[in-house]
Amino acid sequence: GEDVEQSLFLSVREGDSSVINCTYTDSSSTYLYWYKQEPGAGLQLLTYIFSNMDMKQDQRLTVLLNKKDKHLSLRIADTQTGDSAIYFCAESIKLNTDKLIFGTGTRLQVFP
């Protein structure tokens, strides 16, 4: 079955690193994504990783993929108050429809 799970909340101090975790069940995933949703807005693609990669770094963002354990994480270095949002991981599992399965979202709160 297709299931993507995330913890619901994460609270960090400004300047610290944040690590948001995600587990998925479908081993045929092709791409895995991280989306950010700010209050009252739609989802914005942050970064992604192809399923044959272990790590991807993009400025303050580092994505780690453990395909054996079906575990995906997003690390935000030097977290800022502007990073406060809900973060969704998603997996793309079918090649011909681009259907995404989303996790429940992790609400990141950054305090001074």
Partner 1 sequence: NAGVTQTPKFRVLKTGQSMTLLCAQDMNHEYMYWYRQDPGMGLRLIHYSVGEGTTAKGEVPDGYNVSRLKKQNFLLGLESAAPSQTSVYFCATTPLRIAGGTLGTDTQYFGPGTRLTVL
Which residue, 17 or 28, is less far from partner 1 as judged by CB?
28
Residue 34 lies near partner 1 (rule: CB under 8 A): no
Compute the least distance from the CB of residue 107 to partner 1, in Å: 10
Compute the least distance from the CB of residue 21 to partner 1, in Å: 15
DSSP sequence for 63-76: EEEETTTTEEEEEE
**In DSSP terms, which residues pair with 32 in a beta bridge?**
49, 91
Q: Is the separation of the CB atoms in 98 and 48 below 8 Å?
A: no
Using the CB atoms, write b or e for 78-109: b if 16+ within 10 Å: ebeeebbbbbbbbbbbeeeeeebbebebbbbe
Compute the least distance from the CB of residue 47 to partner 1, in Å: 10
Q: Please give the residues from 73 up to 92 whose contact with partner 1 meets the rule CB under 8 A.
A: 88, 92
Residues 53 and 111: their CA atoms lie apart, in Å, by 33
Among 28, 44, 80, 81, binds partner 1 (CB under 8 A): 44
Chain residues binding partner 1 by CB under 8 A are 4, 8, 30-31, 33, 35, 40-45, 48, 50, 88, 92, 95-100, 102-105
